Amino acid sequence: MPPLHRHQLAQLTAEGWSQALAQSADPAMERCILLWSQRRFPLVVTQQPEGALRRGRIALGLPAPLDRDRRRIRLDVCADAIAWLDEFPPAIDALPLLPRRARAHLEPLLDQLIALGTPARVYGSHGWQLLTGLDYLHRRSDLDLWIAVDDAADADAAAACLASAPVDRPRLDGELVFTDGTATAWREWAAWRAGRTSGVLVKRLHGASIEHRGAFGLTSLAAAA
């Protein structure tokens, strides 16, 4: 199995769905898992508990749609119960879900991110509505972007691009994701780089921590010190 990272999609085998259904705590949860298994919708890789991967277990999430109260279901399956891994769709695929005015402004921005070499994927409500065709979006839904960056220079360029967006609805949210899977919210990165905060929340597969200048200890973020 290739290395895991947060926001990665996972499709289960038939045995995997059996394991998932066995973890249902109530009828509503069981119906939601059953729907996912019948339609072969993916689950998402979440933060992994300490030692889970060494035990051959993987924590996955199932975010339910609006008509199922946006319930967040956490599941735990054997590693060999995963049939394949994938990624959320390119952000440009979500444009048809946006209001016309927002679409007109965001399409050039997404093209600019691609030109910078920092392409964006869409997750969150827009991503799940794209993947499932179910209703996730509501009036206050953010547009969550997963932006691939190689180093601090890429992160700075992508954050500056996002900060220049001329629309406030939907609000642009999301993370800058480095090649080693380390991630940080693009707004927090921009504030930290501008000196408005002393540290930045860094998210990893096995947890999160506030990091300060020179404290990352990661090749991908060394230039940020």
Q: Which residues are catalytic?
A: 142, 144
Residue with tokens 């300060």: 212
Residues 6+ apart with CB under 8 A from 128: 63, 65, 134, 136
**One-letter-per-residue 3-state SS of the chain:** CCCCCCCCEEEECHHHHHHHHCCCCCHHHHHHHHHHHHHCCCEEECCCCCCCHHHCEEEEEEECCHHHCCCEEEEEEEHHHEEEEECCCEHHHHHHHCCHHHHHHHHHHHHHHHHCCCCEEEEHHHHHHHHHCCCCCCCCCCEEEEEEECCHHHHHHHHHHHHCCCCCCCCEEEEEEECCCCEEEHHHHHHHHCCCCCEEEEEECCEEEEEECCCCCCHHHHHHC
Contact by Cβ (8 Å): 119, 41:
no
